Amino acid sequence: MEQQRAILLRCASGFPLPPGVKMSYGTAGFRAEGMTLASTVFRTGVLAALRSLKMGSAAVGLMITASHNAVGDNGVKVADPSGSMMTQLWEPFADALAGAPTAEDFVRVVFEFVDEEKIPFGVARPSEILLGRDTRPSGEALLEAAKQGIAAVVGAVAIDMGILTTPQLHWMVRRRNEGRGASEDEYFRQLSDSFRRLMDLSPEGTLRNAYDPSVWVDGANGVGGEKLGELMKLLPAGLAVHVRNSGKDGEGILNDGVGADFVQKEKAIPHGFSTSDAGRRCASLDGDADRLVYFRITGEEGRKIDLTDGDKILSLFSLFIKEQLAKLEEGGEPAGRARLGAVQTAYANGASTEFLRRMGMEVAFTPTGVKHLHEKASEYDVGIYFEANGHGTVLFSDKFLRELEPLNAELATNHPGSESQKAALRLWEVSQLINQAVGDALSGFLLVEAILRHKGWSIEDWNSLYQDLPSRQLKVKVADRSVVTTANAETQVVNPPGLQEAIDAETAKYPNGRCFIRPSGTEDVVRVYAEAATQEAADGLARAVALEVGRSL
């Protein structure tokens, strides 16, 4: 134990905490300007190694990325052995590690937590930490800091998986702990094989086939564009993918006027696209390829794009899966009675929630953040979650997948099988295609394309599922965001007193009005979200509530 203490003290001394730096571990892990992060990433390497020891030396992941942030930023986060986000119970420990002012304080925090959690040092089985990073210039130096943090824990081994999308690393962690192949080649092969089989299961002779196999993808000048290019080499001829903003050869700036976050927030055409693309089905990934949105350039004066966001992806996935479950139930299969649920946050457009409920879906709400959505979705036999920003996935319970297996085996023996057996096989392939560890823009993209092909739909058909209510998001800078507390999935203000009543009074002035506020998880701002019957009304409601926030804080 003393040897371990000495190693940690010596190594931590080489990564002093920069003056004035204050880090908080949230859904995105730690994020800041890349040049300030070496100390934080070193300490997160120690955190990841300890997490592995706590989990019986299971593999965990450490990803260096700032996702949709500007290229000068970077970040680091830890993936649990299941491939999902690190448990929230360890976030206060992560904060304490990152904020320890000296090497001595850092070591003290480590050993206090080790004693409290009964984390075993010196176990015989090595603890594996899988490392990944995106294409940011600061990533290589930060990777070395992470390796040194991992090496400072006796028995921990860093395994560099190379430049990856964030979802790829999460997938690899999950697969490694399942005892299955976890290489990038195997990731590409699983996605392409499942996509091909799902495409082969598309019904013949659909009443209306408006599906166009060509799609244009904005790669955000990040790692996702490059990886999609590699994946395309394995895809069947039935899909023609045209990648722009791939980031190859230094062309374009990461997330600068491109990417899912830009397209979704600004509702604007990304660089590399123009009105000459009007009418085409287009998609946009974010910088680390864990977000996906679609859009169509209308070419109409005053309209930049028709956005097809995460709410619409959730609705498409829900509709398809519910249809397959109905076929199972019609065939008398127990799997058809699976509990299916959709999980949203308050940022979901109200029209999407109404559509899902009209469809007969069970809809649940959680606070903002993938960790909350993922946890709630895991309570269902089939749980689907998406944020409007395009981050989401589909989770299948082990129980449900076990019920599908006999149907799939029978179909393989007695091809072509009944409609219920085909539905079972479709659901099985969806479970293999979609990344169940975390939101994955590449696997989500392929599932969207397979469903549109199955239904014979154009992007206009998809968009017509419902009409979004006009909305507006604003940010109000405040001295201390912590004075604002919320409840009921962040839709009601608890503190400061009287602010919720003021929001209610303003909201009541607008037809179809809905408005809520929430403190940012990363900066001293309060975010305002408003919906109303018209864009002018949504803008007015957002501005009025922003003024109330300013007066109250």
Q: What is the mean pLDDT of residues 343-370?
A: 96
Residue 527 marked as a ligand binder: yes
In this model, does residue 206 exceed pLDDT 70?
Answer: no
Place of tokens 């990433």: 41
Rounded mean pLDDT, 385-403: 95
Domain boundary among 146, 180, 214: 180
Q: Looking at the structure, do residues 72 and 13 belong to the same domain, yes or no?
A: yes
* CATH number where 410 lies: 3.40.120
Full DSSP string of 409-432: HHHHHSTT--HHHHHHHHHHHHHH
Domain check: are 464 and 491 in the same one? no
Cα(336)–Cα(485) distance, integer angstroms: 41
Q: Give the percent of the chain with pLDDT over 70.
A: 96
In the prediction, which pLDDT does 550 show?
93
Judge if 276 and 418 occupy the same domain.
no
Considering 131, 152, 180, which residue would you say is the last residue of a domain? 180
For the ranges 405-409, 445-449, 520-524, the one whose mean pLDDT is highest: 445-449
* pLDDT, position 412: 52
For residue 417, pLDDT over 80 is answered with: no
The SS3 assignment for 306 reads strand
Annotated binding-site residue? 174: no
Amino acid symbol at 183: S
User: Predicted confidence band at 12 (pLDDT cuts at 50, 70, 90)?
Assistant: very high
Task: Give me the pLDDT at residue 17, please.
Answer: 94
- Asked if residue 73 belongs to a known ligand binding site, the reply is no
Spatial distance between the Cα atoms of 351 and 244, rounded to a whole number of angstroms: 31
Question: Are 266 and 295 in the same domain?
Answer: yes
Beta strands in 121-187 (DSSP E): 127-133, 156-163
Q: DSSP readout, 301-350?
A: TT--EEEE-HHHHHHHHHHHHHHHHHHHHHTT-GGGG--EEEEE-TTS-H
Collapsed DSSP state (helix, strand, coil) of residue 217: strand
Confidence of residue 205 (pLDDT cuts 50, 70, 90): low
pLDDT for 406 beyond 80: no
Q: Which residue has the tokens 């930023």?
A: 73
8 Å CB contact between 454 and 202:
yes
171 and 50 co-located in one domain: yes
Average pLDDT estimate for 25-40: 93
Residues 302 and 318 in one domain: no
Q: Looking at the structure, tell me whether residues 150 and 263 fall in a common domain.
A: no
pLDDT tens digits for range 244-292: 999 887 779 999 999 999 999 888 999 999 989 999 999 999 999 999 9
Model confidence pLDDT, tens digit, residues 106-125: 999 999 999 999 998 877 78
Above 70 in pLDDT, residue 375? yes
**Residue 230 marked as a ligand binder:** no
Clarify whether residues 338 and 301 are in a common domain. Answer: no
Asked whether the predicted pLDDT for residue 333 surpasses 90, the reply is: no
Q: 111 and 257, same structural domain?
A: no
Q: pLDDT class for 411, splitting at 50, 70, 90?
A: low
Radius of gyration in angstroms for the set of CA atoms belonging to the chain, rounded to a whole number: 24
Token pair listed for 40: 């934080």
Give me the pLDDT at residue 194, please. 96
Residue 410: the pLDDT is 59
How far apart (Å, rounded) are the C-alpha atoms in residues 410 and 407?
5
Average pLDDT, the chain: 93
Distance CA 112, CA 110 (A): 6
Q: Is 281 assigned a ligand-binding role in the annotation?
A: no
Whether 414 has a pLDDT exceeding 70, the answer reads no
Same domain, yes or no: 27 and 165: yes
Whether 290 and 444 have beta carbons less than 8 Å apart is answered as no
3-state secondary structure of 515: strand
Please tell me the predicted confidence (pLDDT) of residue 524.
85
**387 assigned ligand-binding residue:** yes
Confidence of residue 409 (pLDDT cuts 50, 70, 90): low
Q: Active-site residues: which are they?
A: 67
Any known ligand binding at 196?
no
Q: What percent of the chain has pLDDT over 90?
A: 85
Instruction: Tell me how far apart the alpha carbons of residues 168 and 191 are, in angstroms, rounded to a whole number.
Output: 11
Q: Which of 188-192, 233-237, 254-258, 395-399 has the lowest mean pLDDT?
A: 233-237
Of 24-28, 70-74, 277-281, 356-360, minimum mean pLDDT range: 24-28
**126 vs 251, residue with greater confidence:** 126
At 36 the pLDDT is: 95
Same domain for 416 and 379: yes
Q: Residue 413's pLDDT is what?
A: 56
Query: For residue 94, what is the domain's CATH number?
Result: 3.40.120.10
- What CATH number is associated with residue 483? 3.30.310.50
Is 518 a known ligand-binding residue? Answer: yes
Domain boundary, last residue among 152, 180, 208: 180
Residue 294's alpha-carbon distances to 57, 383, 463, 531, in angstroms, are: 40, 22, 10, 21
519 annotated among ligand-binding-site residues: yes
Structure tokens at 107: 């070591």
pLDDT value, residue 520:
86
Structural domain harbouring 414: 311-437
**101 shares a domain with 40:** yes
Q: Report whether 286 belongs to an annotated binding site.
A: yes
67 known member of a binding site: yes
Q: How many domains does the chain have?
A: 4
Residue 18 DSSP symbol: P
pLDDT-derived band at 419, boundaries 50, 70, 90: confident
